[in-house]
Amino acid sequence: DEEFDELCFEFGLELDEITSEKDIISKEKGEEKAKGASDVVLYKIDVPANRYDLLCLEGLVRGLQVFTERINLPRYEKIIPAEGEGQRLIITEQTTQIRPHAVAAVLRNITFTKDRYDSFIDLQEKLHQNICRKRALVAIGTHDLDTISGPFTFTAKAPSEIKFKPLNQSKEYTASQIMDLYRTDSHLRHYLHLIENKPRYPVIYDSNGVVLSMPPIINGDHTKISLNTRNVFIECTGTDITKAKIVLDIIVTMFSEYCEKPFTVEAAEVVYPNGKTHIYPELAYRTEKVKPEYINKKVGISETPSSLAKLLTRMCLKSHVTGNGNHIEIEIPPTRADIIHACDIVEDAAIAYGYNNIQMVIPKTYTIANQLPLNKLTELLRLDLAAAGFTEALTFALCSQEDIADKLGMDISATNAVRIANPKTAEFQVARTTLLPGLLKTIAANRKMPLPLKLFEISDVVVKDPTTDIGARNYRHLCAIYYNKSPGFEIIHGLLDRVMQLLEVPPNEENGYTIKAAEGTAFFPGRCAEVFAKGQSIGKLGVVHPDVITKFELTMPCSALEINIEPFV
């Protein structure tokens, strides 16, 4: 297991966990449900989303064997049958409005076993979820060719005109009935919306009118593949021709391994509504040229051109050095649709070299980070406020309009609040302009706790500011609250003095801080003071108004302090 984990890591994959069906069920549903489940060891492997060729056992094993140099990369061939003998798929113009593209191919004389068959179905499912975007872009159909006779027609008809026996069902249904039938199906109901409201549904017939499939929903039961199937007809229909070609290439390259002549695929001809024809699968090989020094520089290594070519060959990109070692010529196989640019080739060279083998160097640019002074001050204050016996609370940065306006006895227009254009809930309508409501709500939620409750929060508030480029500005506020049977104004006042002592601001008018009597809608008349420091007003403290206390569903008196700490940075 450890060796395999190591190999996966070197190949750029992650062995997520080693488990079994029994373990998975017992974790999710408990021991009881897991009885009788299989104990066979399962490897859960994380594959990057761009590597469609590793989504099945066949491709993964092939990739790892080439990587460990046990085998050479196979050459995929398409065999074009003699004139008039090959399969044809004719696309009619009715499909243009709904799923205009189709590609097809045949796997001849294939031998299925239970495991190969499961892997074949599983690969289709993974491709459907991933590159096919839940069948919206491409839908794959695989059929037993010996049960049908070509040429095949891909057309679109009114739902009432389509009638066939869907996969694993016992009787025939019309397309409309099929939609109703699968509306409750946990697996298929997610795809119904793709064609549900269209006037015509896509459908594929053979020359005798047998329905192969109604993409992207379900195949017909008539063409069902079994373990005895010898010849497989594969069709991919979709709205994106590039993705359809990739999907077809992946399926045929992965499973042509089991054909009588391994790695060969029989081509099929697709006839377009305008009469043009095209042979699929394309199985296109192409070559790219990359300079060795480009790879070395980007990865930060100094390998010879021939060893770079060898590294790339191990990653299924057959390479050789050309032109006196000035270039590496790379052949990109049809399985590697993810190679779009030279940087993709560089990445593969780095994986094969081994990320852990690249020497660490200090970057040439000076990138040593520092903590933002405002955050450093915030952290220091948090520790000392906690040491003063207050408990830190963290509340939401968004709140309702009532919290910052009506409940505090203010008008919403006076708050300068930033609104959310399309709030999902009434609780998250505006960005907070004061921290007080959040702490009052926290106390309301903790009324059962023993008194006194002493809470604080140091966080950002947001207000509109037309002078900034985004039209709003953040301020770092400190808010503290004391909730008990008596208001405890002296405790909050004491906390303010302690904060100022820590900030080394003396209690005088010239270069220190003072407090002056003031009025605030949230505070009790005559019990509110404004705090001045550094020649500006930085906030208020006082006994909270009884109306505010009842609006937040509280029953005891409380006093609060809220100041802006940015002037002290």
User: Last residue of a domain, which of 300, 331, 357?
Assistant: 357
pLDDT, residue 32, reads 76
Give the C-alpha separation, 549 to 545, whole Å: 6
Tokens of 460: 């950002």
CB 196 within 8 A of CB 190: no
Whether residue 275 is found in the same domain as residue 335: no
Q: What is the mean pLDDT of the chain?
A: 91
Whether residue 402 is found in the same domain as residue 377: yes
Q: Is residue 2 part of a domain?
A: yes
pTM score, whole prediction: 0.68
- Total count of domains within the chain: 4
**What CATH number does residue 274 fall under?**
3.50.40.10
pLDDT, residue 369, reads 82
Give the C-alpha separation, 470 to 464, whole Å: 9
Q: Is residue 237 part of a domain?
A: yes
Taking 80 as the threshold, does the pLDDT of residue 553 lie above it? yes
pLDDT, residue 19, reads 85
- What's the mean pLDDT in 542-567? 92
Whether residue 138 is found in the same domain as residue 249: yes
- Which of these, 312, 318, 283, 285, lies nearest to 296 by C-alpha position? 312
Whether residue 437 is found in the same domain as residue 342: no
In this prediction, residue 436 has a pLDDT band, given cuts at 50, 70 and 90, of very high
Taking 90 as the threshold, does the pLDDT of residue 202 lie above it? yes
Q: Are strands 87-91 and 152-157 parallel, antiparallel or unpaired?
A: parallel
Q: Which amino acid is at 479?
A: C
pLDDT digits (tens, 9 = 90+) for 521-542: 889 998 999 999 988 899 999 9
Taking 80 as the threshold, does the pLDDT of residue 377 lie above it? yes
- What's the mean pLDDT in 56-77? 92
Q: Is residue 103 part of a domain?
A: yes
In this prediction, residue 16 has a pLDDT band, given cuts at 50, 70 and 90, of confident
- What's the mean pLDDT in 145-158? 91
Q: Is residue 512 part of a domain?
A: yes
CB 448 within 8 A of CB 408: no
Q: Is residue 365 part of a domain?
A: no
Which residues neighbour 547 within 8 Å (Cβ) at sequence distance 6 or greater?
Answer: 409
**What CATH number does residue 13 fall under?**
3.30.56.10
| C-alpha 527 chain-centroid distance | 53
pLDDT digits (tens, 9 = 90+) for 447-476: 889 888 999 999 999 999 999 999 999 999
Give the C-alpha separation, 53 to 64, whole Å: 12
CB 566 within 8 A of CB 474: no
Whether residue 395 is found in the same domain as residue 466: yes
Whether residue 22 is found in the same domain as residue 83: no
Tokens of 318: 């057959």
pLDDT, residue 437, reads 92
Report CA torsion sign: 339, 342, 347, 351. positive
User: Last residue of a domain, which of 234, 258, 280?
Assistant: 280
Q: Which domain holds residue 348?
A: 286-357
Whether residue 129 is found in the same domain as residue 252: yes
Whether residue 315 is found in the same domain as residue 249: no
Q: Is residue 29 part of a domain?
A: yes
Which of helix, strand or coil describes residue 536? strand
Whether residue 210 is found in the same domain as residue 319: no
